[in-house]
Structure 1
């Protein structure tokens, strides 16, 4: 019986919500081996609702992009 293939991990350079480039400085540093300035996300606020939208298989694997964070922030304002 053939082995069941492992599901592919999400691309750490892509937002797990929209698939766009997440510009994660930590991931860029891992990819290039070059130190990066602190990532934009260090000072960002990620609501619980936004984090819960990440598919289970992508949680802890890739960063949400700035555009999705900004969109969620705008949507949460009255």
Structure 2
């Protein structure tokens, strides 16, 4: 999978903080990780909609950005690339 130049998949595309994505960490280190926090978190459609198009499916948002925009009906939508949410 190609990565957008300048895109750091280990950082939240909304705030730039480390997103703590277990899937990305496993890819980078080759060491098995447990399930990513985002696969069990409720993330609103609004939060996912704020992810820039060029980062969708390539970089996860961080827990803080996910929590800041939690909707009444949480939505879990893994990306088509299988690399977490967003």
| TM-score interval, normalised by the smaller of the two chains | 0.7 to 0.9
Matched residue, 2:52? 55
Matched residue, 1:3? none
Gaps of 5+ in 2: 73-86
Instruction: After the TM superposition, list the runs of 4 or more consecutive aligned residues in structure 1 that deviate by more than 4 angstroms.
Output: none
Gaps of 5+ in 1: 1-6
Number of residues paired by the alignment? 69
Q: 2:65 aligns with which of 62, 65, 68?
A: 68
The SS at the match of 1:54 is coil
Scaled by the length of structure 2, what TM-score is found?
Answer: 0.73
Scaled by the length of structure 1, what TM-score is found?
Answer: 0.80
- Considering only aligned residues, what root-mean-square deviation do their CA atoms show, in Å? 1.5
1 or 2, which has the higher helix percentage?
Answer: 1
The structural deviation recorded for 1:24 is 0.2
Q: 1:39 aligns with which of 36, 40, 52?
A: 36
Tell which has more relative contact order, 1 or 2 (C-alpha 8 A, sep 6+): 1
